[in-house]
A and B are shown apart, each in its own frame.
Chain A
Amino acid sequence: MQLRIHPSSGVPIYRQVVDQIRYLITSGRLAPGAELPGIRALAEQLLVNPNTIARAYLELERAEMLMKRHGAGTYVAESPRKLTRNQRASALTESVDALLMQAAQLGVGYEEVVELLEERHARVTSNTP
């Protein structure tokens, strides 16, 4: 599992870990049932505090993306929790708003944003097995 940590980006490190693992799971690069590295091993690999990894794993467990098997490590959940349509939409609203605001500031038109979305969508889904 390859994660990249940017300590001085301002984004808390546990948040970077959560977001990247979430991305690996939703993009299919981490399959359901796949085992994640242990907390200590990942902390040493990324050179970050073990508590940070523990916190990220805990948050992903609470979101039912990961599950702990009794004394046997952490795995990608077999069937990620199904969210209602509203829940899914509201989870994305903030990011969409930020995207639209940034586009407006840069003078990028709405059509161009949609084009970019399609282009990125094609790129991201091509990584899915």
Chain B
Amino acid sequence: MTSLLPSPSSADSVVSVNGLTRRFGSRIALDEVSLHVPRGSIFGLVGENGAGKTTLLRHVLGLLRPEAGIVRVLGLDPVAEPVEVLSRTGYLSETRDLPDWMRVDELLRYTRAFYRTWDANYAEELRRQFELPPDQRIRSLSQGQLAKAGLLVALAFRPELLVLDEPSSGLDPVVRRDILEAIIRTVAEERRTVLFSSHLLDEIERVCDYVAMIRAGRVLLAGRLDDIKAAHHRLHLRFGATPHRPPRIERALSLCGGGREWSGVFYGDRPLLTRSVEAVGAEILEEEPVSLDEIFVARSSSGWSEAPYQES
């Protein structure tokens, strides 16, 4: 049965990344990234293409060696103990690379050989649910079927940790729904953990407990989704007099408007915000909740990388 939100102590983290840095040539791909994925959570990595999400996930899987910093998965170093880590971690890459000359049933038999915990009944159940014909060649599958086949292979050995890199990239809404359902079912059973990246914030907002926003290799913001949302507000303001230039207000992440009325995304407790708004001679007309999408845009453009929710 599902328990309430797990506590975010690093002791119970399934994935724990501390000060991870990685360069490709002179380009810095990850810059002192730290994050902790609590057991039983759905953790979403948000960021634009090229922000470093895939590079981060490849370190988690032990496919890349940290240049600096420490990565632990299920308490183990994934570079030093790849077999143990990968036998307990399901992975779906964005490119969904599967052996394309195999048939679906051959893919299942082939993959089964790698996993002690492979559950053939579950694999068959997923194959039917995903409507994958056993005799079809991988190369002739549609994009959606390919994603489902990749997901099947990542789920059928009931991994403790499921890592998905942009699972809904390029898929139609019906297949996206199947994938989200599979993610939800994964954590609902047996406190398994999901770490996935997506640029679809709507999707992240639906299913995640925890979120990390990544931009240009740095963590802009990380924490419990509810906390992040509760700490951000859209405020509509009216100034006593028209400001001469765009106003600067403490704790405003973005601001637009004109004349005496301006609105923007703010960060902080409501009493604190009232004070900073009053300090510039304005009053709050209205307050609205903001979506994760708005928070991300506001944070990205403000370049404000203070990460008050980063777990220690």
Contact = CB atoms under 8 A, between A and B. Distances in A.
Interface stretch (B103-111, B137-145, B181-189): B181-189
A37 interface: no
Given A40-B2, A47-B207, A11 B289 contact: yes
A39 B187 CA distance: 12
Contacts of A9: 289, 291
A58 B201 CA distance: 26
A13 to B, nearest CB: 7
B5 A40 contact: no
B202 interface: yes
A10 B289 contact: yes
Given A9-B291, A54-B2, A54-B3, 4 more contacts: A47-B206, A47-B207, A101-B286, A105-B285
B207 A48 contact: yes
Interface of A: 5, 7-14, 39-40, 43-44, 47-55, 58, 101, 105
24 contacts: A9-B289, A9-B291, A10-B290, A12-B289, A13-B206, A14-B226, A39-B1, A43-B2, A44-B181, A44-B184, A44-B185, A44-B188, A47-B177, A47-B180, A47-B184, A48-B207, A49-B206, A49-B209, A50-B184, A50-B187, A51-B2, A54-B2, A54-B3, A55-B4
B2 A8 contact: no
B293 interface: yes
Interface of B: 1-5, 41-42, 177, 180-181, 184-185, 187-188, 201-203, 205-209, 226, 229-230, 234, 285-286, 288-294
A99 B53 CA distance: 43
Given A10-B294, A51-B5, A5 B206 contact: yes
Contacts of A5: 206
Nearest to A71: B1
Nearest to A43: B184
A52 B225 CA distance: 11
B188 to A, nearest CB: 4
Nearest to B203: A7
A12 B184 contact: no
* Chain A to chain B: the 3 pairs with minimum beta-carbon distance, closest first: A10-B289, A50-B2, A8-B291
A11 B1 CA distance: 26
Interface centre among B2, B187, B229, B285 (most CB of A within 10 A): B2
Contact of B229 (A10, A54, A55): A10
Contacts of B207: 47-49
Given A8-B291, A12-B230, A54 B4 contact: yes
A7 B206 contact: yes
Contact of A51 (B177, B209, B291): B209
B202 A7 contact: yes
A31 B230 CA distance: 32
B294 to A, nearest CB: 7
A51 B4 contact: yes
B226 A39 contact: no
Contact of B291 (A10, A39, A50, A52): A10
A102 to B, nearest CB: 8
Nearest to B1: A39
A44 B177 CA distance: 10
A13 B230 CA distance: 12
A10 B288 CA distance: 8
B233 to A, nearest CB: 9
Contacts of A14: 226
A1 B94 CA distance: 36
A105 B286 CA distance: 10
A7 B291 CA distance: 8
